[in-house]
Structure 1
């Protein structure tokens, strides 16, 4: 078993209301050298919180988090160590796309854990 950390990506369409919809998961394991994200933006859930939400713009912002886990697609942040990138991605923000608190666990397979967490917490 190896240790991993994860954070849920959430969309807060109206920040002043503090209501959110889970839209993805970021998983990091230092020991496995693993950092990846999986996303899914549910337009109907978003519109239930804000009928005027710009779903396309929000989906693009959520997808940007997933791209930032890929060193080839992440631009300058891709040159940082994966631990630094995970901390940068999970730093608190008061924007429409935010990460929840970082949680830890043990797994044999970080990629399988990412899939499990996406199914359990987002889909």
Structure 2
């Protein structure tokens, strides 16, 4: 069993618009908590031309580092489950999470990659 949440860039909270920029996946059986990110800067600037890309990149780096324990974060000394709950707590910042979803998998890393490819990356639409 695993839980995941999408990482969303929300450049202007008052508008309620967002773009998926990553996936956070927690699998207690595999002792796995990781995130995978990708930011399409042009798409995000369509929502807000003045979005602070440096702040977003720094935030994503901190969140991913909190997952694997490499970041100097207050959550670093907690369990993986506690970290996941801390990261997915509601907030009103540039980087937010979706509601948490659950699923079944035998390979958390493969599932993270699948979710990232299908829910974050934009695939080009074939032209006729």
Give the TM bin, normalised by the shorter chain: over 0.9
- Unmatched runs of 5 consecutive residues or more in structure 2: 122-128
Q: What does residue 90 of structure 2 align with?
A: 92
RMSD: 1.0
TM-score by length of 1: 0.94
Q: Deviations over 1:71-96 (max 9, x none)?
A: 23343311100000000000000111
Q: What does residue 117 of structure 1 align with?
A: 115
Structure showing the higher strand proportion among its residues = 1
Q: Distance in 2 between matches of 1:94 and 1:6?
A: 19
Q: Deviations over 1:79-116 (max 9, x none)?
A: 10000000000000011100000000001100001111
Q: Distance in 2 between matches of 1:74 and 1:89?
A: 14
Moved over 6 A (4+): none
TM-score by length of 2: 0.90
- Unmatched runs of 5 consecutive residues or more in structure 1: none
- How many residues align? The count is 121
How far off is 1:12 after superposition?
Answer: 0.5
Q: Distance in 1 between matches of 2:73 and 2:92?
A: 23
